[in-house]
Amino acid sequence: MTDEIPEDEPEEPIEAAEPAAEPGSVQKVVVEARAHGWRVDHYLSRLHPNFSRAAFQRVIEERLVLCNGLPVKMARRLRVNDCLEFQLPKNPDRTLPPEDIPLDILYDDDYLIVINKAANMIVHPGRGNYLGTLAGALQFHFDKLSDVAGKHRAGIVHRLDRDTSGVLVVAKDNTIHANLSSQFEQRTVEKEYRAIAWGEVSFDRDFIETHVRVSQRNRERMMVCPEGGNSRFAATFYEVLERHRGFTFLRLCPQTGRTHQLRVHMHHLGHPIVADRLYEGHSSLKMSDLVENLPPEQEEVLLARQALHALRLCFDHPVTGQRMEFEAPLPDDFQKALGAIRTHRAKPAKPPHKK
């Protein structure tokens, strides 16, 4: 993974605490229903995103986090209506440095920005990935961004995986951020992706409806599971655009916004996305994957990341109310891989029907 290492809770954000809370101050909170089952350190870092999970773990070790009046243990799972009293870490995380990274800006007004995110770009800092992020690039290019999600995620309303390219919207103030977040939560935002999958998908179109949760064997992965516990409902509509020998080019429309949803759903369908290291096991598509007995001198890497692109995003402008639609064209590496598949794996034309 990437910037979206799955955790113990759904992707949708909880309401953050007031950003004005002073480092070292004592806070009290009653755990809401949607946080039932979350680890306490994770919950606190989501509630106060200016402080990292590691910072809250240090506070827990110092016995400065009480749950229902008793010092809490690190692995404590929260229950609805638990009363937490805790001291914020004394020092917030260091300010994210602005980085002069070029951005493909599809739209920009006084309220929001729409970006065509490149592949191999992390959306915001995560474990071991502090530089080279979209968040850092936004800090450099824009003077005003929302801060409701914390300094490390200024402006970030939603996310794409590191190796997923395409359309992403950014908020310039907290009111706009709240409006856009609500549209995502209410599922009024239309999202459309393009993907290349292994194998030939049988149905022309269908819905995939499952429950998903973090895999117990590999915490970086999500998995399809029965309903209940920490599972979350996930729904994806798909439509086959092209079938080739051993490959399918698809239109994917997620109806929910779970972590890795499209990747885990295609894996569950038996047709993992091409070059998806985490779910398919290979990190690239090579010419030798298409052509048998390819001479070594003709070997070529066609795609060095998962074949998934966020093509279209449609939402209501938070100020004007106008329905807005943005598209990001298929990037060069995606087109190169698709073109090679069309050339080398085209299905033979069917002979004319004889009466």
CATH assignment at residue 44: 3.10.290.10
Please report whether residue 6 resides in a domain: no
Cα separation, 10 vs 230, in Å, equals 9
pLDDT, one tens digit per residue, over 61-75 is 889 999 999 999 887
For residue 219, pLDDT over 90 is answered with: no
pLDDT exceeds 50 at position 2? no
List Cβ neighbours of 350 (8 Å cut-off, separation of 6 or more). none
Q: What is the pLDDT of residues 251-292, one digit of tens each?
A: 999 999 999 999 999 999 999 999 999 999 999 999 999 999
Instruction: Tell me: do 72 and 110 sit in the same domain.
Output: no
Last residue of a domain, one of 39, 56, 87: 87
65-79, 167-181, 213-227: which has the highest mean pLDDT? 167-181
Per the annotation, the verdict on 161 as an active-site residue is yes
Identify the pLDDT of residue 12: 44
For 68, counting Cβ atoms within 10 Å of its Cβ (0-12 exposed, 13-18 middle, 19+ buried), the class is exposed
Q: How far apart are CA 69 and CA 180, in angstroms?
A: 37
Tens digit of each residue's pLDDT (9 = 90 or more) over 286-345: 999 999 999 999 999 999 999 999 999 999 999 999 999 999 999 999 999 999 999 999
What is the average pLDDT value for the chain, to the nearest integer? 88
- Do residues 117 and 35 both lie within one domain? no
Catalytic, out of 41, 161, 163, 333? 161
**238 touches 253 (CB < 8 A):** yes
Domain end among 87, 106, 126: 87
Residues 74 and 140 occupy one common structural domain: no
Same domain, 154 and 80: no
> Does 141 lie in the same domain as 58?
no
267 and 289 both lie in a single domain: yes
Q: Indicate the number of domains in the chain.
A: 2
20 in a structural domain: no
Question: Are 265 and 291 found together in one domain?
Answer: yes
- Point out the domain boundary residue: 35, 58, 87: 87
- pLDDT-derived band of residue 3, with 50, 70 and 90 as boundaries? very low
Residue bearing tokens 């409806």? 209
pLDDT at position 128 is: 56
pLDDT for the residue numbered 191:
98
Instruction: Assign 24 a pLDDT band (cuts: 50, 70, 90).
Output: confident
Q: Are residues 51 and 161 in the same domain?
A: no
Domain that holds residue 40: 26-87
- Reference 289, options 339, 341, 244; nearest CA is 341
User: Is residue 15, in this structure, part of any structural domain at all?
Assistant: no
Return the amino acid letter for 17.
A
- 31 with 102, same domain? no
